[in-house]
Structure 1
């Protein structure tokens, strides 16, 4: 169906939006899912912190929050909120480009909607491997 990009409380424009859409669609297809409605909302730390407190009862800052809106099996639908400020800070701390870190965070949210978790160490390792695989695919699209 559709992938949408929105901005809340910041000035931000996603570069290569068409490429990012193709990439996300390809990952979804590779996992044998169908795309429904997928919304990415790019925001600042305070906006995402408020969502984290209000909806998840977590009083901390994070780079991403994913809400799964899927009603059907193998259909991916959801809202993915991303703090651009947190991604920039993480990129600096990890000594990677902002674009690379943003791509990792974007696909991290998609992978959550595809059923991947990251609480336990084994889940974290699997998530990181899937992110790395997806980042390699981004270079070829």
Structure 2
């Protein structure tokens, strides 16, 4: 099982990657998912817009795009693209530290791959509660 963090045209200061990988693996396990391979790619707004347009036919900026690449619903193989530009803007908008917002988005992508959705109000509320749970467990942030 592998989790990798890479950057495309941006710099990211992600602290304690070993601990973060262990937490994500544990989260998948607690959610009943087997994690085979997970790639996080930190990128710019423009790069993620291109991905959003090409693969999802969405012509909008977003903070994250998550792709499930595997065929077995109980074994996760995925790619998660995160716009660092959008993370920084959202951190300012919501008046939270960039590190906290970055971790929220990292956990958001993992939760998508664990089967959580956010299309309806009810789904979004559950997703937000799960993100907050992760932030509390991992960063000790009370929300």
TM tier relative to shorter chain: over 0.9
Shift of the alpha carbon at 1:12? 2.4
Query: RMSD of the TM alignment (CA)?
Result: 1.1
Task: Give the conservation status (yes or no) of the 8 Å contact 1:38–1:76.
Answer: yes
Q: Does the residue aligned with 1:18 lie in a helix, a strand or coil? A: helix
Distance in structure 1 (CA, Å) of the matches to 2:123 and 2:80: 20
**2:83 matched residue in structure 1:** 83
Alignment partner of 1:6 is 2:13: no
User: Structure 1 stretches of 5 or more lacking a match?
Assistant: none
- Choose 130-139 or 92-101, whichever is displaced more: 130-139
Aligned residues between the structures: 140
TM-score, normalised with respect to structure 2: 0.94
1:99 lines up with 2:99 in the alignment:
yes
Secondary structure of the structure 2 residue equivalent to 1:81: strand
Shift of 1:97: 0.4
Structure 2 portions without partners, runs of 5+: none
Q: Which has the higher contact order (CA 8 A, sep 6+)?
A: 1
Counterpart secondary structure, 1:41: strand
- Note if 1:33 corresponds to 2:7: no
SS in 1 for 2:41: strand
Q: Partners of 1:10 and 1:38 in 2: how far apart?
A: 19
Is the 1:23–1:137 Cα contact (8 Å) retained in structure 2? no
Which consecutive segments of 4 or more residues in structure 1 shift more than 3 A?
Answer: none
Residues 1-141 of structure 1 correspond to what in structure 2 (within 5 A)? 1-139=1-139
CA deviation map 1:80-137 (0-9, x unaligned): 0000010000000000000100110001001111110001000011101111111111
* Distance (whole Å) between structure 1 residues aligned to residue 69 and residue 101 of structure 2: 25
